[in-house]
Amino acid sequence: MKKALIVWGGWEGHEPKKCSDIFAPLLEAAGFDVELSDTLDSYLNTEKMQQLSLVVPMWTMGTITREQEAGLLNAIKSGVGVAGWHGGMADAFRNNTEYQWMVGGQWVAHPGNIIDYRVNITNHEDPITAGLADFDMHSEQYYMHVDPANEVLATTTFNTDIAPWVNGTVMPVVWKRMWGEGRVFYSSLGHKAVDFDVPEAKEIQRRGMLWASR
């Protein structure tokens, strides 16, 4: 049986436990043995990490020790998949640039905070987004610093009075990439648990986790 580890914590504003609880049953339904943990020390158990198929990090901001970070990154590099969403993956450990390199991006702003915006599917052939049409969100529209090596699957275009100098900017929302032998999946959707009431947002995350797992 495949094993998945969901590690949740950090800033409570992103409802880390509530959001993690949405996806644990979906992974179990897909045949995974799922463990939920609220400590970054989970990354220190090298033997256990190597037995995983998937890590799902949900830890906004906060700090991670050099040893904890190495435990996570080395596991991914060896072939363990990683898949996450929003700030729980791409606004974690702001001082750790190697972690950010693995993720493929870092949050820097969400002009206007909670707004209406459109998500555009740009790759209709990939199994993560196949069959899905463009859809609307009422949430934070993430402006990010993004690795150009990412394989982008969906984007959003900025149009805001808060920061008009970025208007027209096309920003990646969903991407996948490799880190060594490990598959990396990220979606910037999911500010709060209610965001996953949007079927497309939830389905993209579910498919992304399944794609990333080895």
Q: What is the pLDDT of residues 28-48, one digit of tens each?
A: 999 999 999 999 999 999 999
Q: What is the pLDDT of residue 9?
A: 98
Q: What is the pLDDT of residues 79-134, one digit of tens each?
A: 999 999 999 999 999 999 999 999 999 999 999 999 999 999 999 999 999 999 99
Residue pointed to by tokens 């899905």: 132
Q: What is the pLDDT of residue 76?
A: 98
Q: What is the pLDDT of residue 43?
A: 98
Residues 6 or more apart whose Cβ sits within 8 Å of residue 147: 101, 104, 105, 177
Task: Determine the Cα–Cα distance for residues 36 and 24; give it in Å rounded to an integer.
Answer: 8
Q: What is the pLDDT of residues 68-77, one digit of tens each?
A: 999 999 999 9
Q: Indicate the pTM of the whole model.
A: 0.98
Asked whether 136 and 116 are in contact (CB, 8 A), the reply is yes
In b/e form, how buried is each residue of 86-106, taking b as 16+ CB within 10 angstroms?
bbbbbbbbeebeebbebbbbb
Q: What is the pLDDT of residues 140-198, one digit of tens each?
A: 999 999 999 999 999 999 999 999 999 999 999 999 999 999 999 999 999 999 999 99
**Domain 2-212, CATH 3.40.50.880 — does that match?**
yes
Task: Determine the Cα–Cα distance for residues 200 and 193; give it in Å rounded to an integer.
Answer: 14
Average pLDDT over residues 42-65: 98
Q: What is the pLDDT of residue 66?
A: 98
Q: What is the pLDDT of residue 193?
A: 98
Q: What is the pLDDT of residue 53?
A: 98
